[in-house]
Amino acid sequence: MISAGDFRNGITLEMDGNIYQIIEFQHVKPGKGAAFVRTKLKNIISGGVVEKSFRPTEKFPTARIDRVDMQYLYNDGDLYYFMNAETYDQIALAKDAVGDALKFVKDNEMVKVCSHNGNVFAIEPPLFVELEVTDTEPGLKGDTATGATKPAIVETGAQVMVPLFVEIGDKLKIDTRSGEYLSRV
Protein backbone atom coordinates (compact mmCIF):
# COMPACT_ATOMS: atom_id res chain seq x y z
CA MET A 1 0.00 0.00 0.00
CA ILE A 2 1.17 3.49 -0.80
CA SER A 3 -0.28 6.71 0.55
CA ALA A 4 -0.91 9.71 -1.69
CA GLY A 5 1.65 11.67 0.33
CA ASP A 6 4.36 9.27 -0.89
CA PHE A 7 3.51 9.53 -4.62
CA ARG A 8 6.47 9.80 -7.02
CA ASN A 9 6.70 9.85 -10.82
CA GLY A 10 6.63 6.38 -12.38
CA ILE A 11 4.87 4.58 -9.51
CA THR A 12 2.08 2.22 -10.61
CA LEU A 13 -1.00 1.70 -8.47
CA GLU A 14 -4.38 0.00 -8.58
CA MET A 15 -7.44 2.21 -8.32
CA ASP A 16 -11.09 1.55 -9.25
CA GLY A 17 -10.17 -1.78 -10.86
CA ASN A 18 -7.63 -0.17 -13.21
CA ILE A 19 -3.85 0.14 -13.22
CA TYR A 20 -2.46 3.68 -13.31
CA GLN A 21 1.05 5.08 -13.57
CA ILE A 22 1.83 8.49 -12.05
CA ILE A 23 3.08 10.87 -14.74
CA GLU A 24 3.11 14.04 -12.62
CA PHE A 25 2.33 14.86 -9.02
CA GLN A 26 2.25 18.03 -6.96
CA HIS A 27 1.77 18.52 -3.22
CA VAL A 28 -0.49 21.54 -2.72
CA LYS A 29 -0.87 23.36 0.60
CA PRO A 30 -3.44 26.11 0.11
CA GLY A 31 -3.54 28.97 2.57
CA LYS A 32 -7.02 27.94 3.63
CA GLY A 33 -8.12 24.32 3.99
CA ALA A 34 -6.33 20.98 4.04
CA ALA A 35 -3.36 19.99 1.91
CA PHE A 36 -3.90 17.71 -1.09
CA VAL A 37 -1.94 15.94 -3.83
CA ARG A 38 -2.74 16.85 -7.45
CA THR A 39 -1.75 14.10 -9.93
CA LYS A 40 -1.79 13.25 -13.60
CA LEU A 41 -2.36 9.49 -14.03
CA LYS A 42 -2.01 7.33 -17.13
CA ASN A 43 -4.15 4.22 -17.46
CA ILE A 44 -1.55 1.69 -18.64
CA ILE A 45 -4.12 -0.62 -20.24
CA SER A 46 -6.09 1.94 -22.30
CA GLY A 47 -3.45 4.69 -22.47
CA GLY A 48 -5.85 7.40 -21.30
CA VAL A 49 -4.63 10.21 -19.03
CA VAL A 50 -6.72 11.58 -16.16
CA GLU A 51 -6.13 14.27 -13.55
CA LYS A 52 -7.16 13.55 -9.95
CA SER A 53 -6.66 15.09 -6.54
CA PHE A 54 -6.18 13.05 -3.35
CA ARG A 55 -5.91 13.67 0.37
CA PRO A 56 -2.32 12.82 1.47
CA THR A 57 -3.65 10.09 3.80
CA GLU A 58 -5.49 8.08 1.09
CA LYS A 59 -3.91 4.68 0.49
CA PHE A 60 -3.77 2.53 -2.67
CA PRO A 61 -2.30 -0.90 -3.42
CA THR A 62 0.81 -0.73 -5.60
CA ALA A 63 0.62 -2.63 -8.88
CA ARG A 64 3.43 -5.00 -9.76
CA ILE A 65 4.47 -4.58 -13.39
CA ASP A 66 6.72 -7.28 -14.87
CA ARG A 67 9.09 -6.15 -17.64
CA VAL A 68 10.72 -9.11 -19.36
CA ASP A 69 13.37 -8.91 -22.08
CA MET A 70 12.13 -10.94 -25.02
CA GLN A 71 13.28 -11.46 -28.57
CA TYR A 72 10.81 -10.52 -31.30
CA LEU A 73 10.82 -13.51 -33.64
CA TYR A 74 8.30 -12.86 -36.44
CA ASN A 75 4.65 -12.23 -37.25
CA ASP A 76 2.32 -14.31 -39.38
CA GLY A 77 -0.33 -11.69 -40.06
CA ASP A 78 -2.50 -11.68 -36.93
CA LEU A 79 -0.05 -12.98 -34.32
CA TYR A 80 3.35 -11.67 -33.20
CA TYR A 81 5.75 -14.21 -31.68
CA PHE A 82 8.23 -13.47 -28.89
CA MET A 83 10.77 -15.67 -27.10
CA ASN A 84 12.14 -15.27 -23.59
CA ALA A 85 15.93 -15.21 -24.03
CA GLU A 86 16.58 -16.97 -20.69
CA THR A 87 13.94 -19.72 -20.60
CA TYR A 88 13.31 -20.02 -24.37
CA ASP A 89 9.55 -19.91 -23.71
CA GLN A 90 7.59 -18.48 -26.62
CA ILE A 91 4.42 -16.39 -26.51
CA ALA A 92 2.13 -15.18 -29.28
CA LEU A 93 0.37 -11.83 -28.99
CA ALA A 94 -2.55 -10.56 -31.04
CA LYS A 95 -2.15 -7.57 -33.34
CA ASP A 96 -4.31 -5.31 -31.12
CA ALA A 97 -2.17 -6.07 -28.02
CA VAL A 98 1.00 -5.07 -29.86
CA GLY A 99 -0.35 -1.96 -31.61
CA ASP A 100 2.27 -0.04 -33.57
CA ALA A 101 5.06 -0.55 -31.00
CA LEU A 102 6.95 -2.78 -33.44
CA LYS A 103 6.93 -0.49 -36.47
CA PHE A 104 10.67 0.19 -36.01
CA VAL A 105 11.66 -3.29 -34.76
CA LYS A 106 13.25 -5.89 -37.05
CA ASP A 107 12.94 -9.65 -36.57
CA ASN A 108 15.22 -11.11 -33.84
CA GLU A 109 15.64 -7.81 -31.95
CA MET A 110 15.16 -7.55 -28.18
CA VAL A 111 12.11 -5.75 -26.74
CA LYS A 112 10.59 -5.42 -23.26
CA VAL A 113 7.24 -7.12 -22.77
CA CYS A 114 5.25 -5.43 -19.96
CA SER A 115 2.60 -7.41 -18.11
CA HIS A 116 0.43 -7.22 -15.01
CA ASN A 117 -0.78 -10.49 -13.46
CA GLY A 118 0.24 -12.35 -16.61
CA ASN A 119 -1.76 -10.04 -18.93
CA VAL A 120 0.50 -8.33 -21.47
CA PHE A 121 -0.48 -4.68 -21.96
CA ALA A 122 2.51 -3.14 -23.74
CA ILE A 123 5.60 -3.79 -25.81
CA GLU A 124 8.53 -1.41 -25.26
CA PRO A 125 10.91 -1.30 -28.25
CA PRO A 126 14.54 -0.23 -27.79
CA LEU A 127 14.87 3.57 -27.50
CA PHE A 128 17.02 3.84 -30.63
CA VAL A 129 17.23 1.56 -33.67
CA GLU A 130 19.39 1.49 -36.78
CA LEU A 131 17.44 0.79 -39.97
CA GLU A 132 18.25 0.88 -43.67
CA VAL A 133 16.35 3.09 -46.13
CA THR A 134 14.58 0.95 -48.75
CA ASP A 135 12.69 3.65 -50.65
CA THR A 136 12.91 7.43 -50.94
CA GLU A 137 12.79 10.05 -53.66
CA PRO A 138 16.05 11.73 -54.69
CA GLY A 139 16.62 15.16 -53.15
CA LEU A 140 16.61 18.07 -55.59
CA LYS A 141 19.59 20.43 -55.70
CA GLY A 142 18.78 23.90 -54.48
CA ASP A 143 15.93 22.64 -52.27
CA THR A 144 18.01 22.89 -49.11
CA ALA A 145 17.22 26.42 -47.98
CA THR A 146 16.01 25.62 -44.46
CA GLY A 147 16.21 22.01 -43.32
CA ALA A 148 13.86 20.55 -45.90
CA THR A 149 12.73 16.95 -45.38
CA LYS A 150 11.27 14.16 -47.47
CA PRO A 151 9.54 10.87 -46.62
CA ALA A 152 11.60 7.67 -46.59
CA ILE A 153 10.52 4.06 -46.08
CA VAL A 154 12.81 1.97 -43.85
CA GLU A 155 13.30 -1.81 -43.92
CA THR A 156 10.47 -2.47 -41.42
CA GLY A 157 7.98 -0.65 -43.66
CA ALA A 158 7.65 2.43 -41.45
CA GLN A 159 7.80 5.95 -42.90
CA VAL A 160 10.25 8.51 -41.49
CA MET A 161 10.82 12.13 -42.46
CA VAL A 162 14.52 12.54 -43.36
CA PRO A 163 16.78 15.32 -44.71
CA LEU A 164 17.13 15.62 -48.49
CA PHE A 165 20.67 14.14 -48.56
CA VAL A 166 19.51 10.68 -47.37
CA GLU A 167 19.53 8.09 -50.14
CA ILE A 168 18.37 4.48 -50.62
CA GLY A 169 20.73 2.10 -48.80
CA ASP A 170 21.72 4.57 -46.04
CA LYS A 171 21.52 3.31 -42.46
CA LEU A 172 19.64 5.67 -40.13
CA LYS A 173 19.49 6.03 -36.36
CA ILE A 174 15.83 6.52 -35.35
CA ASP A 175 14.24 7.43 -32.00
CA THR A 176 11.41 4.88 -31.53
CA ARG A 177 9.48 7.07 -29.05
CA SER A 178 8.91 9.92 -31.51
CA GLY A 179 9.70 8.21 -34.82
CA GLU A 180 12.21 10.95 -35.65
CA TYR A 181 15.37 10.64 -37.72
CA LEU A 182 18.45 11.31 -35.56
CA SER A 183 21.46 10.70 -37.81
CA ARG A 184 23.06 8.53 -40.46
CA VAL A 185 25.15 5.64 -39.20
**pLDDT per residue as tens digits for the range 47-90:** 789 999 999 999 999 988 888 899 999 888 888 899 998 898 89
Choose the CATH number for 128-184 among 1.20.1440.20, 3.30.870.10, 2.40.50.140, 3.40.140.10. Answer: 2.40.50.140
Q: How confident is the model at residue 119 (pLDDT cuts 50, 70, 90)?
A: confident
**pLDDT of 143 above 70:** no
Print burial letters for 69-87: b (CB count within 10 Å at least 16), e (below 16): ebbbeeeeeeebbbeeeee
**pLDDT of 145 above 70:** no
Does residue 40 contact residue 49 with C-beta atoms inside 8 Å?
yes
Superfamily of domain 66-124: Nucleic acid-binding proteins (2.40.50.140)
pLDDT score recorded for residue 70: 92
CA distance 154 to 172: 9
**pLDDT of 2 above 70:** yes
Is 2-60 in CATH node 2.30.30.30?
yes
pLDDT score recorded for residue 41: 92
- What's the mean pLDDT in 28-47? 88
Residues 6+ apart with CB under 8 A from 58: 3, 4
Q: What are the strands of the beta sheet with 149-154, ordered from one edge?
A: 159-163, 149-154, 128-136, 171-175, 180-184
Strands 49-54 and 59-60, sheet pairing: unpaired
**Nearest by Cα to 172 from 158, 184, 164:** 184
For the chain, the structural domain boundaries read 2-60, 66-124, 128-184
Residues 6+ apart with CB under 8 A from 38: 25, 26, 28, 51, 52, 53
Predicted TM-score (pTM) above 0.85: no
